[in-house]
Structure formats: C-alpha cells, structure tokens
C-alpha cells in the first residue's frame, strides 16, 4: 500500500506541475498576442497621422502659399512647383 501511495503522490505532483506549466505558457502567449495587437494599433495610428499630414500639406499647397514645416529647431518653407511656374496675372 505504501508503494501505491507514493505513486499517487508523484502522479498528483506531476499533474500539478503540468497544470502550472500549461497556465504559464497560456499567460505568456496571451501577453505576447496582446502586445502584438498594441504595436499594430500604434503603427496604424502613426500611418494615419502621416497620411493626414500629407493631405494637409497638399491642401495648403494648392492655395499657392508657402507652407512652413518645423523639424526640431529647423524651419523650412514649401510651395507647390506648379505655383512657381504660373505666369503672373
């Protein structure tokens, strides 16, 4: 009977360790998937911001006015080439 008790204890310990390992792997996979989703949302937001900035530049450039663009401590003015090629009225 002692041998059967030892086998049951070992079996229970192995089952508990298996459940712990499965739980750890599941949580790790869930956190990885959640992080990938957050990165994807962040990248989509950045892309939308870039697209919105380009659309804004194009809209402002169509008015043939210089467009100031700031990068850090540097400022540049952009204007549409078509506006420079127009004959004065």
Give the pLDDT confidence score for residue 87 in this predicted structure.
60
Domain boundaries, the chain: 2-64
Whole-structure pTM over 0.75, yes or no? no
Tens of pLDDT, residue by residue over 54-65, are 998 888 888 888
- Is the predicted pLDDT of residue 2 greater than 80, yes or no? no
- Is the predicted pLDDT of residue 51 greater than 90, yes or no? yes
Instruction: Supply 80's token pair.
Output: 């549409």
Tens of pLDDT, residue by residue over 7-50, are 899 999 999 999 999 999 999 999 999 999 999 999 999 999 99
Instruction: Supply 18's token pair.
Output: 């298996």
Give the pLDDT confidence score for residue 81 in this predicted structure.
85
Give the pLDDT confidence score for residue 89 in this predicted structure.
55
Is there a contact between 80 and 61 (Cβ–Cβ < 8 Å)?
yes
Instruction: Supply 62's token pair.
Output: 């169509």
């Amino acid at each position: 009977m002692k041998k059967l008790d030892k086998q049951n204890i070992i079996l229970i310990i192995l089952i508990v360790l298996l459940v712990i390992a499965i739980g750890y792997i599941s949580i790790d996979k869930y956190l990885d998937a959640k992080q990938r989703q957050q990165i994807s949302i962040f990248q989509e937001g950045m892309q939308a911001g870039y697209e919105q900035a380009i659309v804004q530049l194009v809209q402002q450039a169509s008015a043939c006015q210089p467009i100031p663009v700031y990068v850090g401590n540097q400022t540049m003015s952009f204007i549409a080439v078509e506006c420079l090629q127009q004959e004065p009225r």
